[in-house]
């Protein structure tokens, strides 16, 4: 199909991968609906990229189902139905399972899994009617490898991966392609947006986990600041995938993601888990103190 007539809906475009993606699709003549959280909409609208006439910036909290449905229906009436949907918006909590609150757990799943699923459901009737469509869900290496202090984030991406795999089978009869892109570490400012649970933010978290937080934070941020891979590089891979005749169900978003995928596949599970545990930063000092006397 000619790009000029294709409508691309991309969520989370105020920064990072989303912001790079809208520029790529714009250069090739697609019509783009670029969403940003209502609080970030003004920033997106005034950005150099959003000045193109082909880009329509809209405010959307992906966890707001009514607003999502409204946006899709309005797009169908004013510009045309969505041909390519890219579920890019995402948040990441850094929290141990014990420190998470139910509300934070809900929010993590709403933004990274439940909201994207609602958006897919809303776009599908028109995609099926046209017998054409592409759905690209931005997952993560965290969607195949879980790490300490990232349980909820990983759970949300594992969920996205499972549902995308089901969708791949369900939608094949209509020629609708479903793909997952897994970025690994990216040299971006995304780490500045990592959220802590309300319990930790209120200073009510368990101090026994302090080493987990400190070591994991330093470890992840250190790699992110050193890696040469940028959001622009990831956007290039996603864009390329969106134009392939037979896109893969799973694609690496960064070179390190291919390496992690290989390690995860070839090592026996018990070796993999022990090895990963041993290489966790400062792990020998985690969980200090002697077991409490129960007598």
Rounded to whole angstroms, the Cα distance separating 234 from 253 reads 5
Residues 257 and 247 sit within 8 Å (Cβ to Cβ): no
Choice between 101 and 227, CB closer to ligand NAP? 227
Rounded to whole angstroms, the Cα distance separating 168 from 175 reads 10
- Per-residue binding string, ligand NAP, 50-69, x by CB under 6 A, is ----------xxxx------
Rounded to whole angstroms, the Cα distance separating 92 from 195 reads 6
Rounded to whole angstroms, the Cα distance separating 171 from 283 reads 44
Rounded to whole angstroms, the Cα distance separating 232 from 252 reads 14
- Per-residue binding string, ligand NAP, 217-256, x by CB under 6 A, is --------------x-------------------------
| Least distance between ligand NAP and beta carbon 88 (Å) | 5
**Catalytic option among 19, 30, 93, 153:** 153
Choice between 7 and 141, CB closer to ligand NAP? 141
Rounded to whole angstroms, the Cα distance separating 171 from 255 reads 29
Q: Does 190 bind ligand NAP (CB under 6 A)?
A: yes
Choice between 16 and 133, CB closer to ligand NAP? 16
Residues 57 and 50 sit within 8 Å (Cβ to Cβ): yes
Residues 215 and 3 sit within 8 Å (Cβ to Cβ): no
Q: Does 16 bind ligand NAP (CB under 6 A)?
A: yes
Q: Does 37 bind ligand NAP (CB under 6 A)?
A: yes
Rounded to whole angstroms, the Cα distance separating 34 from 9 reads 6
- The values of phi and psi at residue 64, to 5°, are -95, 95
| Least distance between ligand NAP and beta carbon 295 (Å) | 47
Q: Does 17 bind ligand NAP (CB under 6 A)?
A: yes
Q: Does 32 bind ligand NAP (CB under 6 A)?
A: no
First to last CA, the chain: 73
Q: Does 21 bind ligand NAP (CB under 6 A)?
A: no
Residue 261 annotated to the active site: no
- Packing angle between helix 151-171 and helix 115-130, nearest 10 degrees? 10
When binding is defined by CB under 6 A, the residue of 6, 14, 23, 197 that contacts ligand NAP is 14
Q: Footprint of ligand NAP on residues 114-173 (CB under 6 A)?
A: 138, 140
Active site residues: 153
- The contact set with ligand NAP (CB under 6 A) reads 11-18, 36-37, 39-40, 60-63, 88-92, 111, 138, 140, 183, 185-186, 188, 190, 193, 231
């Amino acid at each position: 199909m000619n790009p000029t007539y294709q409508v691309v809906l991309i969520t989370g475009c105020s920064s990072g991968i989303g912001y790079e993606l809208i520029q790529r699709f714009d250069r090739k003549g697609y019509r783009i609906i670029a969403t940003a959280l209502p609080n970030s909409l003004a920033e997106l609208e005034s950005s150099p990229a959003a000045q193109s006439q082909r880009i329509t910036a809209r405010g959307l909290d992906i966890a707001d189902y009514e607003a999502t449905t409204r946006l899709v229906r309005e797009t169908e009436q004013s510009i045309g139905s969505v041909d390519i949907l890219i579920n890019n918006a995402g948040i990441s909590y850094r929290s141990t399972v014990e420190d998470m609150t139910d509300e934070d757990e809900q929010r993590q799943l709403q933004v990274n899994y439940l909201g994207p699923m609602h958006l897919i459901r809303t776009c599908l009737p028109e995609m099926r009617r046209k017998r054409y469509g592409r759905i690209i869900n931005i997952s993560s290496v965290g969607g195949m490898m879980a790490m300490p202090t990232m349980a909820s984030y990983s759970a949300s991406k594992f969920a996205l991966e499972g549902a995308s795999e089901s969708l791949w089978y369900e939608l094949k009869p209509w020629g609708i392609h479903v793909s997952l892109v897994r970025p690994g570490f990216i040299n971006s400012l995304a780490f500045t947006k990592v959220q802590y649970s309300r319990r930790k933010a209120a200073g009510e978290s368990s101090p026994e986990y302090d080493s987990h937080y400190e070591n994991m934070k330093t470890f992840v941020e250190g790699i992110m600041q050193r890696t040469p891979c940028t959001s622009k590089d990831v956007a290039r891979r996603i864009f390329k995938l969106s134009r392939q005749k037979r896109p893969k169900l799973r694609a690496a978003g960064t070179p390190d993601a291919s390496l992690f995928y290989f390690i995860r596949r070839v090592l026996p599970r018990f070796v993999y888990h022990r090895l990963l545990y041993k290489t966790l930063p400062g792990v020998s000092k985690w969980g200090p103190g002697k077991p409490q006397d129960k007598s």
